[in-house]
Amino acid sequence: MDDLLAEFIAETREMLEATGGELVAWEADPADRARLDSVFRFVHTVKGNCGFFDFPRLAALSHAAEDALADLRAGRREASAPLVSAVLAIIDRIAEMVDAIEAGEELDSGDDAALIAALAADHAPDSSADAPDAPAPLLPEQLMMRRSDPAANLIAPRTIRLPVELLDRVMIGVSDMVLARNDLAHRLRIAGTQPTIDGPFERLTAILSDVRDAITRMRMQRIETLFGALPRLVRDLSAELGKQVLIDLEGGNVELDREMIETIRDPLTHIIRNAIDHGIETPAARLAAGKREMGLLTLSAHQSGNTIAIVVSDDGRGLDAEKIAAKAVSSGLITAAERATLSREKVLQLIFEPGFSTAEAVSNISGRGVGLDVVRQNLEKVGGSIAVSSQPGVGTLFTLQIPLTLSIIAGLTVEVAGQRLAIPQGYIEEIIEASAEALDYARMGETALVTFRGERVPCLLLADVLGLPAPEMTQGTHTLALLRLASGDLFALAIERIHSHGDLVVKPLAPAVMKCGLYAGSALLDDGQPVLLLDVTRIAAEHHLLSDTRARTAPRKAEIAGDMAQSAGRVMLFTGLDGRRAAIRLELVQRIETIPTSAIDRSGARPRAVIDGVILPLTGLGDEPLVRGKLRLLRLSDGLTELLYAVRDVEDATELPASLGAAEDDPLVEGLALIGGRPVAVLDGHGLFARFGDAPRPATRPQCLLPDTEWARSILGPLVEAAGYQVADPAESNASKAVTILMEDVYEAASHVGQLPAGPIIRLRDHPDAAPDSPSIYRYDREALIKALREVRDSAPLARAAAMGAVA
């Protein structure tokens, strides 16, 4: 096809998509000049472009619509529902014609004339003088519009169209470059440090990662392109069904992979159809129910990490759990006995089961043979999920979770029987490493179970799944990945060890490999080695670990968990710096930190440490000096205050037995527990926080102003900094909060003229000898100086209080 023609078709399509939403908005508010202008621009551009080609019918249609719209713009006509519908019909026809032109077909000359006549339907009452097809006199404004280049009307940033294939080629090229860089990095490491090469190499690395980001973004598209068509869809549907629906779109600037957009287009459309058809009531029913006549359909997109959540909510009648349950029982999805055990929320999810459809009569809107089960399937195929929640009479809310992109995913590389395989990170609930006894591994016929947090979880051996030699599970320690499927099912996959984790660029596999049914794709690791990406959902399905059976065993699991309720909660086991085994309640542990010992400040009355820019109290250090360069810490939090507890080693999280032995006299120990046959001191969270807890404080050190001499800068300065101060720049410091060190003579001079600094002052003198009660310190009396600095700092609350006062 002629390039020019292809360009014309593509441009018209793009504008059609963008105009769809404008049209509906304009219909809702005919006085909205901006919308009218943009609709007018569309038909005008189409008309103008037709001039280059021989499309007389297209030209006639767009010309007629343009005239009608021009009348509106000039105020010669009022917008009315029939007129808007007629314009919409013409725009639809234009879309059909564009399709036909692209396919090289001749669209049968339907009722163009009727469409054009419809424009004039309510024309006559306004001004009978103007025949619709007679050229209207041109207004100056119109003249301007005609002269202007249509492209100039586009407000969007400049864009060009590219074949996706070309993008893919560039992406492959960049991936190749990254691998070549990694190879080079490896060789450079072997060759040792070479400053002349390392610098440029670092720059290359930075540039490459920039380029890679940009390339990834090239594949991204704003979800707006999908949202753009929805107002029109909603308008047409609600008109057809005699309902009034207002659509509210939010988060159109969220970006996702353009192929993903195509994948969710149908599921999303289906849900919207459902909402309008079944969810939102007729205006009369809504009024009777005390709602506004017009139903509200809200779509919002949010990105969080690597997933996008799209929420579709309506304020309709909501889902009828009883009806759904009855339907599910009658169609054999569940038994009546199972029904009794299911919660309302679980019942609602049944609408995604294959073979379920609530509509009594199949309407031509939502009953098109495609059920919500297909919607769920399609989403799960790309690693997404869907859930529904609903309040009767209030509305229904569908939540779709979809991964940002098909081609780059976060993955965990694991090793089994000498082979590396990747698991998408999204499935991984937790990695546990535990002994066979702790796992309570049990073979049940051909399947196996492990116990995880009091739940019996089916366990697959990855080696078995792959037909590789499997390890003996009844002994030794094992690494298990707990995988949570999109359907909510949980199962354990025994692996040998974790290799690495990171972003994987996933490539499709050859059909012969896909046929194995175990793999979703392949990826290259940083060292250029290929790995296979496991198709977790399919593996689970093959082993019958998916969905419906699970939904019904879940309550039973909860019963089993009920037995565990006797246990007094979970604790984290660790070995303290004093070599004593101890435990602390898991809820208190926020995370485990490792800090260099240089971040610890033991100079104050209580040890403190700086983590992530905040100062936290530190306990558990004991009196021993810190020999190691790094220290492991438990970061504990009671919600408001935090503290750090130094440990030698973190062991494991475990159940706390119901009864605790009497504690020693230590006020910080709640009691003694027997865990694994050995006594463990359980720390008293209340006692710890009562004594040490402190709200995190920003790690700004107190400031200190030094005398302006070389001696002060080079000799006094380091000492002051070692004492935990920051040497302040006199020009910038806030003198009222800073400590000032003054030489005695300067102090006297300043006090004479009454210009003493506002903050605390430490006075230094030049001679060792002085009167016993002298307020000054000999400048080489290190101990006295440090003591003075500390006293000032420990009275810091004073300064802080002053600062607060200033704020108040």
Choice from 230, 531, 644, 738 touching another protein (CB under 8 A): 531
Rounded distance between C-alpha atoms, residue 535 and residue 539, angstroms: 6
State the minimum distance, in angstroms, from the CB of residue 173 to another protein.
8
178 part of the interface to another protein, by CB under 8 A: yes
> What element of type H or E holds 118?
helix 112-119
529 part of the interface to another protein, by CB under 8 A: yes
The CA-based angle 56-59-63, given to 5 degrees, is 140
State the minimum distance, in angstroms, from the CB of residue 406 to another protein.
16
The CA-based angle 771-777-782, given to 5 degrees, is 130
9 part of the interface to another protein, by CB under 8 A: no
Q: How many residues bind another protein (CB under 8 A)?
A: 30
Rounded distance between C-alpha atoms, residue 590 and residue 608, angstroms: 18
Q: Using the rule CB under 8 A, give the single segment among 22-30, 234-242, 514-522, 713-721 that binds another protein.
A: 514-522
Choice from 31, 34, 512, 771 touching another protein (CB under 8 A): 512
Q: Give the x/- contact pattern for another protein in 361-400, rule: CB under 8 A.
A: ----------------------------------------
Whether the CB-CB separation of 471 and 459 falls below 8 Å is answered with no
505 part of the interface to another protein, by CB under 8 A: yes
- Tokens 């060292």 belong to 527
Choice from 129, 337, 510, 753 touching another protein (CB under 8 A): 510
Q: Give the x/- contact pattern for another protein in 437-466, rule: CB under 8 A.
A: -----------------------------x
Count of alpha carbons within 13 angstroms of residue 54, beta-carbon side: 1
DSSP-derived letter for residue 427 is G
508 part of the interface to another protein, by CB under 8 A: yes
Choice from 220, 509, 650, 746 touching another protein (CB under 8 A): 509
Q: Using the rule CB under 8 A, give the single segment among 212-220, 301-309, 509-517, 737-745 that binds another protein.
A: 509-517
Q: Which is nearer to another protein, 516 or 756 (CB)?
A: 516
Q: Which is nearer to another protein, 367 or 471 (CB)?
A: 471
- Tokens 């996702």 belong to 256
627 part of the interface to another protein, by CB under 8 A: no
175 part of the interface to another protein, by CB under 8 A: yes
Rounded distance between C-alpha atoms, residue 711 and residue 713, angstroms: 6
519 part of the interface to another protein, by CB under 8 A: yes
Q: Which is nearer to another protein, 420 or 691 (CB)?
A: 420
State the minimum distance, in angstroms, from the CB of residue 506 to another protein.
10
Rounded distance between C-alpha atoms, residue 638 and residue 650, angstroms: 20
Q: Residue 608 is encoded by which pair of tokens? A: 């403190």
Residues contacting 29, CB < 8 A, separation 6+: 35
Angstrom distances, CA of residue 69 to CA of 120, 150, 540, 747 = 11, 17, 58, 84
Q: Which is nearer to another protein, 260 or 532 (CB)?
A: 532
Choice from 358, 413, 522, 619 touching another protein (CB under 8 A): 522
Rounded distance between C-alpha atoms, residue 517 and residue 511, angstroms: 10
First to last CA, the chain: 73
Q: Give the x/- contact pattern for another protein in 415-434, rule: CB under 8 A.
A: ----xx--------------
Q: Which is nearer to another protein, 327 or 507 (CB)?
A: 507
Rounded distance between C-alpha atoms, residue 778 and residue 770, angstroms: 8
Whether the CB-CB separation of 12 and 58 falls below 8 Å is answered with no
State the minimum distance, in angstroms, from the CB of residue 467 to another protein.
5
Q: Residue 305 is encoded by which pair of tokens? A: 């990490």
The sign one gets for the Cα dihedral 169, 174, 178, 184 is positive
Closest CA to 630 of 659, 602, 598, 596: 596
Residues contacting 315, CB < 8 A, separation 6+: 280, 291, 295, 296, 394, 395
Q: Which is nearer to another protein, 60 or 470 (CB)?
A: 470
Choice from 82, 199, 392, 530 touching another protein (CB under 8 A): 530
What residue ranges in 551-710 does DSSP mark as E strands?
A: 570-576, 581-585, 589-596, 600-601, 608-611, 614-619, 630-637, 642-655, 669-675, 678-683, 697-698, 703-705
104 part of the interface to another protein, by CB under 8 A: no
205 part of the interface to another protein, by CB under 8 A: no
State the minimum distance, in angstroms, from the CB of residue 205 to another protein.
16
Rounded distance between C-alpha atoms, residue 248 and residue 227, angstroms: 10
Choice from 179, 188, 653, 663 touching another protein (CB under 8 A): 179
Which positions from 635 through 694 interact with another protein, judged by CB under 8 A? none
218 part of the interface to another protein, by CB under 8 A: no
Q: What are the backbone dihedrals phi and psi of residue 406, each rounded to the nearest 5 degrees, phi first?
A: -85, -25
Rounded distance between C-alpha atoms, residue 67 and residue 44, angstroms: 9
Choice from 137, 467, 613, 677 touching another protein (CB under 8 A): 467
The CA-based angle 489-490-495, given to 5 degrees, is 140
Q: Which is nearer to another protein, 173 or 718 (CB)?
A: 173
State the minimum distance, in angstroms, from the CB of residue 255 to another protein.
24
516 part of the interface to another protein, by CB under 8 A: yes
The CA-based angle 611-614-615, given to 5 degrees, is 90
Q: Which is nearer to another protein, 505 or 536 (CB)?
A: 505
Choice from 110, 528, 569, 596 touching another protein (CB under 8 A): 528
Q: Which is nearer to another protein, 140 or 511 (CB)?
A: 511
468 part of the interface to another protein, by CB under 8 A: yes
Q: Using the rule CB under 8 A, give the single segment among 174-182, 262-270, 357-365, 791-799 that binds another protein.
A: 174-182
Q: Which is nearer to another protein, 329 or 514 (CB)?
A: 514
Q: Using the rule CB under 8 A, give the single segment among 196-204, 529-537, 701-709, 733-741 that binds another protein.
A: 529-537
What residue ranges in 392-518 does DSSP mark as E strands?
A: 395-403, 408-416, 419-424, 428-435, 442-444, 447-452, 455-461, 477-484, 490-495, 497-505
Q: Which is nearer to another protein, 207 or 804 (CB)?
A: 207
State the minimum distance, in angstroms, from the CB of residue 175 to another protein.
3
Choice from 511, 579, 768, 805 touching another protein (CB under 8 A): 511
State the minimum distance, in angstroms, from the CB of residue 504 to another protein.
11
215 part of the interface to another protein, by CB under 8 A: no
Rounded distance between C-alpha atoms, residue 277 and residue 233, angstroms: 12
Residues contacting 466, CB < 8 A, separation 6+: 416, 417, 419, 421, 518
Q: Residue 213 is encoded by which pair of tokens? A: 């980001």
- Tokens 């809504």 belong to 286
185 part of the interface to another protein, by CB under 8 A: no
Rounded distance between C-alpha atoms, residue 243 and residue 295, angstroms: 8
78 part of the interface to another protein, by CB under 8 A: no
524 part of the interface to another protein, by CB under 8 A: yes
Q: Using the rule CB under 8 A, give the single segment among 11-19, 173-181, 185-193, 589-597 that binds another protein.
A: 173-181
Centre a 10 Å sphere on the Cβ of residue 169 and count the other Cβ atoms it contains.
Answer: 11
Residues contacting 264, CB < 8 A, separation 6+: 226, 310, 379, 384, 400, 402
State the minimum distance, in angstroms, from the CB of residue 499 to another protein.
13
User: What are the residues binding another protein (CB under 8 A)?
Assistant: 172, 175-176, 178-180, 419-420, 466-468, 505, 507-513, 516, 518-519, 522-524, 528-532
